[in-house]
């Protein structure tokens, strides 16, 4: 009995240690008195909260991850080098990583790394791209595998001409995007003996996608063509939520770009504008950990809002972008979140969005380490967005 009481007291003490430092924030600016306080207590407590309550933690049992370069060749009329790397998780799950690097490169190449929605072959009209193992193809799409169908989202020539590489993999190779009780993606590789689904505080699909971006980063650190100190992790929409979570956890990502990530991404949940926590958990029950359901229609109970996620990226440059017609993702909520994370950047002496108003449509803020723009148009990622991300990387990576 005495032991049980002692154990309960210990549990209360440890959870109490993690919570109070952030409970005061909710959806408000992150005012922390010093860099030391931020690093020693507030940042770890925020990270713990997002692991425990939002995206879920990665289980301790880790499967093997192996990489093999499966091919390489010229693309875009010889201007670009294509390299494909097979990633094998737990000996059986295969994912394909597609890399495009400028052919005329001097030294190591900085890259943008992000997941794609429908398969590597959709990002460019390049017939040599190997179709991602789990991409919809064949019968589902007739005989047309839709090569290049998402090319407008991946302006490879523009990016490589600017001196950056593009690295991508298909989300469905890591975890197919539907609620199947976590039987079909990588989750089963992490189950403990007898476990059949993640525990309430263990990761969902976004957590698994973010984990895979870190594994690709492991590979990039070993590829001698890559400047692994300058890898920007990027994503659109659900993959923007993923990029933020990957960048928040893995400090090897030197820059993070969230394009129209909305609820569960950059947008403040407490505003309940557009998509809400309850709506997202209902429509996509597999994205977050089960504990996140505790905040369905109870956003006021969140000890900290999504500005905490953005602040975890500090002092590394972060860029949040919205689109004017994307009301579902709450553009103003995305801006406010980046603004409320800004005081942490200021602690590091980095100029941020502090003092800036919500911009007009078509305006961008890219000078400080917290960037933001409001593009005219719908929920999408376009060349106009990428131009700004490249400019932001040029400035914050290379002082150009």
Active site residue 273: no
**Would you give the binding string for ligand GTR spanning residues 330-369, x where CB under 6 A is met?**
----------------------------------------
Give how many residues touch ligand GTR by CB under 6 A: 7
Active site residue 237: yes
- Interface with ligand GTR in residues 222-241 (CB under 6 A): 237-238
Question: DSSP string spanning 190-218?
Answer: GPPTT--S--TTB--HHHHHHHHHHHHHH
* Structural tokens at position 322: 């919205």
Q: Are 261 and 284 in contact (CB under 8 A)?
A: no
Report if residue 275 touches ligand GTR, rule: CB under 6 A: yes
- Among 81, 226, 257, 263, contact with ligand GTR (rule: CB under 6 A): 263
Report if residue 244 touches ligand GTR, rule: CB under 6 A: no
Contact region with ligand GTR (CB under 6 A), list: 120-128, 212-220, 275-283, 357-365: 275-283
| Minimum distance of ligand GTR from residue 274's CB (angstroms) | 9
Report if residue 51 touches ligand GTR, rule: CB under 6 A: no
Give the DSSP H or E segment for 321: strand 318-323
Q: Judged by CB, which is closer to ligand GTR: 137, or 281?
A: 281
- Interface with ligand GTR in residues 301-320 (CB under 6 A): none
- Interface with ligand GTR in residues 283-302 (CB under 6 A): 283
Q: Which of 237, 269, 342, 364 is catalytic?
A: 237
Choose among 163, 354, 320: nearest CA to 241: 320
Report if residue 381 touches ligand GTR, rule: CB under 6 A: no
Q: Which residues contact 342 (CB under 8 A, 6 or more apart)?
A: 29, 352, 353, 354, 370
CA–CA dist 90, 103 (Å, integer): 33
Residues paired with 372 in a beta bridge: 320, 365
Report if residue 262 touches ligand GTR, rule: CB under 6 A: yes
Choose among 55, 56, 51, 63: nearest CA to 190: 63
Q: Are 367 and 373 in contact (CB under 8 A)?
A: no
- The residues of the shown chain that bind ligand GTR, judged by CB under 6 A, are 237-238, 262-263, 275, 280, 283
Q: Which residues form the catalytic set? A: 237, 379
């Amino acid at each position: 009995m005495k032991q049980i009481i002692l154990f309960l007291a210990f549990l209360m003490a440890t959870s109490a240690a993690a919570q109070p430092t952030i409970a005061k924030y909710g959806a408000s600016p992150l005012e922390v008195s010093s860099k030391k306080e931020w690093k020693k207590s507030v940042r770890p407590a925020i990270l713990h909260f997002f692991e425990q309550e939002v995206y879920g933690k990665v289980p301790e049992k880790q499967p093997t991850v192996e990489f093999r370069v499966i091919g390489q060749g010229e693309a875009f009329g010889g201007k670009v080098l294509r390299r494909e790397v097979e990633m094998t998780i737990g000996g059986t799950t295969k994912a394909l990583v597609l890399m495009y690097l400028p052919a005329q490169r001097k030294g190591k190449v900085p890259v943008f790394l992000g997941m794609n929605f429908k398969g590597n072959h959709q990002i460019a009209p390049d017939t040599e791209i190997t179709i991602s193992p789990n991409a919809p193809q064949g019968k589902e799409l007739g005989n047309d595998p839709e090569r290049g169908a998402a090319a407008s989202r991946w302006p490879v020539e523009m990016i490589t001409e600017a001196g950056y590489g593009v690295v991508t993999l298909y989300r469905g190779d890591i975890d197919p995007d539907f609620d199947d009780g976590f039987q079909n993606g990588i989750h089963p590789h992490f189950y403990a003996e007898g476990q059949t689904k993640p525990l309430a505080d263990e990761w969902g699909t976004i957590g698994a996608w973010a984990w895979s971006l870190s594994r690709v980063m492991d590979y990039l650190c070993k590829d001698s063509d890559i400047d692994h100190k300058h890898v920007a992790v990027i994503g659109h929409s659900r993959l923007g939520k993923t990029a933020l979570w990957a960048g928040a956890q893995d400090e090897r990502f030197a820059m993070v770009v969230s394009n129209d990530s909305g609820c569960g991404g950059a947008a403040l949940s407490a505003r309940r504008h557009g998509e809400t926590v309850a709506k997202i958990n209902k429509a996509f029950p597999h994205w977050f950990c089960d504990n996140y359901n505790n905040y369905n229609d109870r956003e006021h109970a969140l000890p900290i809002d999504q500005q905490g996620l953005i602040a975890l990226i500090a002092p590394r440059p972060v860029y949040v972008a919205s689109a004017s017609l994307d009301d579902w993702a709450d553009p103003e909520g995305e801006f406010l979140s980046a603004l409320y994370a800004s005081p942490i950047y200021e602690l590091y002496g980095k100029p941020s969005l502090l003092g800036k108003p919500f911009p007009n449509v078509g305006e961008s803020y890219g000078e400080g380490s917290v960037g933001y723009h409001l593009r005219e148009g719908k929920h999408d990622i376009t060349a106009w967005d990428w131009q700004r991300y490249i400019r932001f990387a040029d400035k914050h990576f290379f002082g150009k």
